[in-house]
Amino acid sequence: MWTAFTSDQVRQAEHALMALVPDGELMQRAAAGLAAVCARLLPGVYGSRVVLLVGGGDNGGDTLYAGARLAARGARVEAVLAGSRTHEGGLEALKRAGGRVIEAGEVGAPDLILDGLLGIGGKGGLREPYATLARIAAESGALVVAVDVPSGVDSSTGEVAGEAVKAQVTVTFGARKAGLLVDPGAERAGIVELVDIGLTAHLPEPEITALTAADVAGLLPVPGIESDKYRRGVVGVLAGSDRFAGAAVLAVGGAVRAGAGMVRFAGPEDAVHQVRARWPEAVTTLLKEDPVEEVGRVQAWVLGPGMGTDERARRIAAEVLGTDLPVIVDADALTIVSKNPKLLHRQAPTLITPHAGELGRLLGVDPKDIEARRIEHVRRAVEELQVTVLLKGSTTVVAEQGRPVRVNTTGTSWLATAGTGDVLSGISGTLLAAGLAPYDAGSVAAFLHGLAARKAAEGAPIAALDVAVSLPDVIRHLRTAANMDA
């Protein structure tokens, strides 16, 4: 499992470690790791051109010492000194190794640019001359490598409040910073490389984590020799309407392909017909005025995709949320509970799966604020609503009272298409019915959903149903890889 920390937590760990090692040791460890990553990224170190964008403080020192190591290996290394002060030891080392200082107008088109303008303490958008240097880096065509965190990205939250460097690779030291995993910061960070400088023993318990493929493989329910469809989990899906029958097909598809023992679907006539045609495995019920309990025994409910918000839908939502069964609350059901939050006051496990707009309605917050500070708002939602929250978006996060926020690291921008959230609800429902708690069910579902989208897309547009269809291959690959590692 990956762990991530705020800038304050990392600083405290660094101070504890610095008291135990010689002066300057941590900077040299960081510089050595940074130079090694850059050397690996360059087609060849000897003869390559590397430009350092150097701010004041320790971040600039890391950058200069790394530049000195690259220069010693034959790279042409040049530094733009942008800060009001410069790390003297680092600059002297660079010059001794053959590096030189240049002006911003001389950057041109190097092979690699190191962004050492601001470290983990940077707040707000970049001011001049840093903002101009960020634009020069973006326009250079060079591979941009951020030192510890892209300048202009809040390392604790991922917030980008103005101009910021966009890196293809970020080399971070000692621990992953929370802002490197959460958009918009994650999008600016690119691939994150972690350099071990010995901080681990001095870090606190993490408040932010991310599941790895091995973690997910270990959490996936696997049928045993005595399993039957009931033991594997029966998920009930209440979705679809005359207008949005397709949402029912997608939610049921997510549940079926994620490995449910049985899927019971109930909805209006057109949705029932479409589900029967696409997923004959599902047991369908035409739901009119009969109580939901007539659908049959289930271990968990998926409530809301395409269901509508009329009186019939409100009655169904109230009935399901009044049971003692686990429930996934999604889409139209979220609109219903936003107008009657008391429906979420229940003892049974409850996972809500809003996007920023839906969470905004639940909290009375502008969705743009939620997108900018996802961790802050998902924690607030957990506190106020007393449920497990899966906040969908460019970075999906899962939160529960008393647990670290889990950040999902899989996915693709091709997921931004209608219906993919319905598939995610079906996957989550299957995992919940199989016995996973909402926190794990949501986290594993988001991971599988993202991987399935990547497999389906492979750089091309996808439809939501493609994600559901790709699920078995993704699960098979995860389990195979886990067995090979065991």
Question: What whole-number distance in Å separates Cα of residue 338 and Cα of residue 238?
Answer: 18
- Helix, strand, or coil here: 74? coil
- Name residue, tokens 């880096």: 137
> What Rg, from alpha-carbon coordinates, does the chain have?
25
Answer yes or no: is 247 a known binding residue: yes
Q: Hey, what amino acid is at 222?
A: V
Answer yes or no: is 61 a known binding residue: yes
Let me know: does 77 contact 34? Beta carbons within 8 Å: no
Answer yes or no: is 124 a known binding residue: yes
Answer yes or no: is 148 a known binding residue: yes
Answer yes or no: is 55 a known binding residue: no
Query: How many residues are given for the chain?
Result: 486
CA atoms within 13 A on the CB side of 88: 0
Answer yes or no: is 285 a known binding residue: no
Answer yes or no: is 357 a known binding residue: no
Here the tokens at position 402 are 């008393």
- Name residue, tokens 């003892």: 347
Strands 397-399, 388-391: pairing is antiparallel
- What residues are paired with 100 via a beta bridge? 78
Let me know: does 451 contact 462? Beta carbons within 8 Å: no
Q: Where are the beta strands (DSSP E) in 201-315?
A: 208-210, 234-238, 262-267, 283-286, 300-303
Answer yes or no: is 366 a known binding residue: no
Answer yes or no: is 442 a known binding residue: no
Its sign, for the CA torsion 163, 169, 171, 176, is positive
Here the tokens at position 275 are 């589900």
**Closest C-alpha among 291, 284, 298 to residue 245:** 284
Q: Where are the beta strands (DSSP E) in 312-391?
A: 327-329, 350-352, 388-391
Answer yes or no: is 422 a known binding residue: yes
Answer yes or no: is 212 a known binding residue: no
Answer yes or no: is 60 a known binding residue: yes
Answer yes or no: is 396 a known binding residue: yes
Answer yes or no: is 90 a known binding residue: no
Question: What whole-number distance in Å separates Cα of residue 448 and Cα of residue 450?
Answer: 5
Q: Hey, what amino acid is at 151?
A: S
Here the tokens at position 326 are 């686990």
Q: At what angle do helices 420-433 and 438-457 cross, to 10 degrees?
A: 140
Answer yes or no: is 306 a known binding residue: yes
Answer yes or no: is 242 a known binding residue: no
Cβ density class 116-146: b for 16+ within 10 Å, e for less: bbbbbebeebbeebbbebbebbbebebbbbb
Answer yes or no: is 151 a known binding residue: yes
Let me know: does 309 contact 327? Beta carbons within 8 Å: no
Here the tokens at position 442 are 């949501």
Answer yes or no: is 377 a known binding residue: no
229-425-360 Cα angle (round to 5): 155
Answer yes or no: is 273 a known binding residue: no
Answer yes or no: is 115 a known binding residue: yes
Feature table: binding site for AMP: 392-396, 421
Feature table: binding site for K(+): 59, 115, 151
Feature table: binding site: 58-62, 115, 119-125, 130, 148, 151, 247, 306, 355, 392-396, 421-422
Feature table: binding site for (6S)-NADPHX: 58-62, 119-125, 130, 148, 247, 306, 355, 422
